[in-house]
Amino acid sequence: MTPLRETLKKVKSDPTKPPRYSAAGLFVKGAKSEEWPRVWRDVDLKKSYDVVIVGGGVHGLATAYYLATNHGITNVAVLEKAYLGSGGSGRNTAIVRSNYLTPEGVAFYDRSLTLYNTMSNDLNLNVMFSERGHMTLAHTDSALRTMRWRAEVNKLQNINSSVIDPQEVKKLAPSLDVSPNTRYPIQGALYHPPGGTIRHDAVVWGYARGADHRGVEMHQQTEVLDIMVEGGEGPDGKGRGGKVTGVRTNRGDISAPIVVNCTAGWATLISDMAGVKLPINTHPLQAAVTEPVKVFLPTVVVSGSLHVYVSQTDRGELVFGASVDPFATYSMKGSLEFTEELAGHVLELMPNIGRMRLLRQWAGLCDMTPDYSPVMGFTPVEGFLCDVGWGTYGFKAGPVSGEQMAECIATQSVPKLIAPFELSRFERGDLVGEKGAAAVGH
């Protein structure tokens, strides 16, 4: 066998060959940092591509990966204004599930969970999928009714979801206070065993590395400043009836017949550049993490009424999230109000963790649509496609969105799984109301 150091030297000395990795993942144990192979290439930005993807998060990278893997389309550039995974992909709480409320939502997120299940093998990178189960607590009669409704919709599509009583809740998560004497007694829960958590950064790196191996280019620090469109009905020649010709970036102009908006937080700003208006308001969503302690919380726990969801990482930290902040802004500042409210609500659920210390908090941006479903597929501008409006569901939808958007681009037709989420549904009044499946009430 070639010694590790020799292999690494060879990789370093032949930049035309794709880098090689240890079977376990990105880094080779024992290697000095200067010997680590680059995970994706750093190449010059070209003047033209077949497809330009705006946004280097899970959605953009997955779209690029599946374009190359499933359709052989590799003359693709992913443009990211900061670094890969710096937006919602690095700011979520890493929860995955498919227990949605609408049949369209259930089918869509179920496909994502299927792709997450085989991802470590497919990408040859341990993405640490932990299928630990997902439990949504009901504290009121009406919440219990919604859980029953969701369970029935789920079962019709063979999704493992059922309503359980407080004793079963206690068995699954012994740290929860299920006594009837609390302010909001737990009346039952929707239990979804296939749900769980996954390492979000690994998903980003895995897709980036896989896309890179197949020839896709990723360009960080490359901000899209404008989208070039000709022949549109708008005063600037953009909008309905127009055709995309490329993008203007801080590093020069790029021509491309297809531009895909895979951004979160900035989705409306990017679409406005093409003259396409989106029914989206952007709100921050805050999250926080505690110090690590011995593992005691075996499932993901969500409480809509108490506006909180929590899971324990493999390192032992509790990761909490809440509702979106009730005002539209692009600011990602954390607030003391959030921490105070979170602590109060968490202690109602788990009174015994009062001495745990919170280490960090952060925020991400959520693009909220009127029906809490995304906007996917073609727009009134030829060649300009959208994969946006993910609200609080973006991370869990990454794989299926990439797969389906790639099919949409390659076949120039709308795949069945994303047909319900086309932008034109708002003109037709054909909404897909998914608010009832939001982790917490917004």
Binding region for ligand PYC (CB under 6 A): 93, 95, 97, 309, 321, 392-393, 438-439
Residue listed under structure tokens 């710096």: 86
CB of 287 to ligand PYC, least distance (A): 8
CB of 338 to ligand PYC, least distance (A): 14
CB of 12 to ligand PYC, least distance (A): 41
Where are the extended beta strands (E) located within 313-429? Answer: 318-324, 358-368, 375-378, 384-388
CB of 95 to ligand PYC, least distance (A): 4
- Closer to ligand PYC by Cβ: residue 109 or 207: 109
Strand, coil or helix: what is 223? coil
- Closer to ligand PYC by Cβ: residue 197 or 379: 197
Contact between 275 and 232 under an 8 Å Cβ cutoff? The reply is yes
- Closer to ligand PYC by Cβ: residue 95 or 386: 95
CB of 193 to ligand PYC, least distance (A): 15
- Closer to ligand PYC by Cβ: residue 228 or 319: 319
Count of beta carbons in the 10 Å neighbourhood of residue 47: 11
Whole-number Å distance between alpha carbons of 360 and 319: 10
CA dihedral 265, 211, 217, 271 (to 10 degrees): -30
- Beta strands 217-219; 76-79: pairing state: parallel
CB of 322 to ligand PYC, least distance (A): 9
- Closer to ligand PYC by Cβ: residue 380 or 436: 436
Q: Is the dihedral of CA 208, 210, 211, 213 positive or negative?
A: positive
CB of 214 to ligand PYC, least distance (A): 31
- Closer to ligand PYC by Cβ: residue 108 or 309: 309
Which residues, other chains included, contact 286 with Cβ-Cβ below 8 Å and sequence gap of 6+?
321, 322, 325, 334, 335, 338, 361, 362, 363
Q: Among all residues, whose Cβ is closest to ligand PYC?
A: 439
CB of 100 to ligand PYC, least distance (A): 9
Which residues, other chains included, contact 250 with Cβ-Cβ below 8 Å and sequence gap of 6+?
221, 222, 223, 225
Whole-number Å distance between alpha carbons of 54 and 166: 46
Whole-number Å distance between alpha carbons of 88 and 61: 13
Buried b vs exposed e over 65-103: b needs ≥16 C-beta within 10 Å?
bbbbbeeebbebbbbbbeebbebbbbbbbbbbbbbbbbe
- Closer to ligand PYC by Cβ: residue 58 or 218: 58
CB of 400 to ligand PYC, least distance (A): 15
- Closer to ligand PYC by Cβ: residue 242 or 321: 321
- Closer to ligand PYC by Cβ: residue 96 or 273: 96
CB of 265 to ligand PYC, least distance (A): 15
Contact between 414 and 407 under an 8 Å Cβ cutoff? The reply is no
- Closer to ligand PYC by Cβ: residue 106 or 439: 439
Contact between 374 and 421 under an 8 Å Cβ cutoff? The reply is yes
Count of beta carbons in the 10 Å neighbourhood of residue 411: 10
Per DSSP, 436 falls in state G
